[in-house]
Structure 1
Amino acid sequence: MDAEQCLRAGDIPGARAALAAELKRAPQDVRARQFFWQLMAVVGELDKADAQLKALGGVQASAMMMGSVYMQAINAERLRDRTFAGDLAPKSLVGTEPWVAGLLDALAATIRGAPDAAARHDAALAEAPASPGSIDGTPFEWLADADTRFGPMLEVVIGADYGFIPFAAMNRIRAAAVADLRDTVWRPAEIGLKSGQSSMVFIPARYPGTVATGDPALMLGRRTDWTAAGDIEIGLGQRLLATDTDDHGVLEPFDIRLG
């Protein structure tokens, strides 16, 4: 099987071997190199993904702009990894309300395995406002990440920066259909803020810790699994956005409007 067939079958090692063989035969093959750096991002080998992006810029000048965007995303992913390793404190990119600080403090406590993490989380969550709105025209009373560590906040990458934005600070989030393998790692989306600003961002499409499972279905965002840490539900695989009516995978196209 070729690399694409392997990937469709969920055979990540097979896809990797096929691409490595293609690049050995034809180092200037732009399509294979594009595919390879994205696959390295899927498996969390960020240094190799970065190196392949740089090599791609050397064989196709038009790829340099795209390469710059995703090299920033790779740097942001490193910040994310350090955050969930406990080396960096989770931070808000928008919003300084006490409940935001409280929820980020609770997240840090969960990462550390602090015994009072759930109590901190519940206290902060009790102060968080609901975010009513609609998704693809269907109304909802509240919107949250289905992973209760995050709840009323969205993980985002803006440029080379990584952090959280409260749903309460946004009036719109929309994403088109997935177009490439890299979208299953960094989901392109447009967000509008109630302050009047709008920005193109990446939403990390997979929950932290997904790569460490080694499970191809989770790594490719084809499934979501859940584990419990006390009362806190921790996701692996594709990120889900929850409302009072349904759950929505972030790899689906969506148009969310918030009041």
Structure 2
Amino acid sequence: MTTALQHHIDADDLPGAIAAATEAVRRGPTDKAARYRLAELFCANGELERADAQLSILLNQAPELQRRISLTRHLIRAEAARQDWYRAGRPPDLLREPSDAIRLHLEAGVKWREGDKAGAASLYAQAETARAPKVGKGFDDFRDLDDATGGLLELLTMDGRYLWVDLAHVAGLDFVPARQLLDLIWREVRLTLDDGTTGTLYMPAIYAAIAPDTPAFRLGRATDWQEQAGLVLGKGQRCFLLGDQAKPVLDLTSLHFTPTGG
């Protein structure tokens, strides 16, 4: 990455970074690294179609990068499905039959989009009241600080699906250290379920219910909280309640939970 481009990113100047990356591709249209960087920046800026277009060109230029490009394009597809839930009500995929918590969240999401915010808030409150604390070593609870997610995990799969997983079914989360720009928006994590099933997935690091409207929020450099109809909703980097502390998702490393026997 060039010094100028890194300077723009460090300064939370996404438009400047995109302009610099676009110029780099214009000057060197066969520069594979430059084109991939531009695709990453489009992803961070929420311009998923433009990112996918750059990756399509890159795949033709560099078929040897097919595996990396395919993964990124599948994550773009999964993120688009996630946006469809928040904007149009397209439901997420599930790994199991929907739990009571997931049913309540699905119903609440429908009511919220219909404008019945009080009805949605009531359903979210029911889900939180019914939720058992998620206990682990050194902490007595773990949940998303955003009430619209609460006791659920949003996850993206390597084959392009958007998932919800009830935290009640999770035995462990092992996060992979961030290595590239995309890791700031889609955090790689090894998920272990209570039946021993494991898999590598990606956790969206940026909240979607309230769209990030500045580069700092889009890059996960900031989090803001808004109260609507008695609910606390996040904008920017996702944060969890770990015991009595707020923990940004980009700071998480490894979490292992105490079996409930349920």
Say whether the fold is shared (TM-score over 0.5).
yes
CA contact (8 A) 2:185 2:206 kept: yes
Letter in 1 for 2:5: A
Q: Which runs of 5+ in 2 are unaligned?
A: none
- Greater shift, 3-12 or 36-45, is seen at 3-12
Letter in 1 for 2:225: W
Tell me how far 1:61 sits from its aligned partner.
Answer: 2.6
From the superposition, tell whether residues 209 and 24 of structure 1 become closer, same or farther in structure 2 (CA, over 3 Å).
Answer: farther
Superposition CA RMSD, Å:
1.7
For residue 109 of structure 1, what is the aligned residue in structure 2?
Answer: 111
Distance 1:148 1:98 in 2: 16
Alignment of 1:98-247 (within 5 A): 98-114=100-116, 115-134=118-137, 139-158=138-157, 159-209=159-209, 212-247=211-246
CA contact (8 A) 2:81 2:92 kept: no
CA contact (8 A) 1:95 1:166 kept: no
Letter in 2 for 1:205: A
Tell me how many residue pairs correspond in the alignment: 254
- TM-score, length of structure 2 as denominator length: 0.91
1:51 paired residue among 38, 50, 53: 53
Distance 2:250 2:15 in 1: 23
Helix, strand or coil for the counterpart of 1:163? strand
Letter in 1 for 2:131: A
CA contact (8 A) 2:111 2:120 kept: yes
Distance 1:213 1:178 in 2: 21
CA contact (8 A) 1:90 1:104 kept: no
For residue 79 of structure 1, what is the aligned residue in structure 2?
Answer: 81
Helix, strand or coil for the counterpart of 2:163? strand
CA contact (8 A) 2:207 2:234 kept: yes
CA contact (8 A) 1:178 1:252 kept: no
For residue 249 of structure 1, what is the aligned residue in structure 2?
Answer: 248
How far does the alpha carbon of each residue in 1:109-145 deviate from its partner, in whole angstroms, 9 at most, with x for none? 23433131111111222222221113xxxx1111100
Tell me how far 1:181 sits from its aligned partner.
Answer: 0.5
Q: Which runs of 5+ in 1 are unaligned?
A: none
Tell me the percent identity: 27
Letter in 1 for 2:256: R
Alignment of 1:58-77 (within 5 A): 58-77=60-79
Tell me how far 1:40 sits from its aligned partner.
Answer: 0.4
- Greater shift, 232-241 or 79-88, is seen at 79-88
Tell me how far 1:51 sits from its aligned partner.
Answer: 1.1
How far does the alpha carbon of each residue in 1:64-102 deviate from its partner, in whole angstroms, 9 at most, with x for none? 101111111111111111110133135543453223311
**Is 1:23 matched with 2:22?**
no
- TM-score, length of structure 1 as denominator length: 0.92
Letter in 2 for 1:116: G
How far does the alpha carbon of each residue in 1:160-193 deviate from its partner, in whole angstroms, 9 at most, with x for none? 1112101111111011221111111211111001
Distance 1:213 1:189 in 2: 23
CA contact (8 A) 1:175 1:188 kept: yes
- Greater shift, 16-25 or 59-68, is seen at 59-68
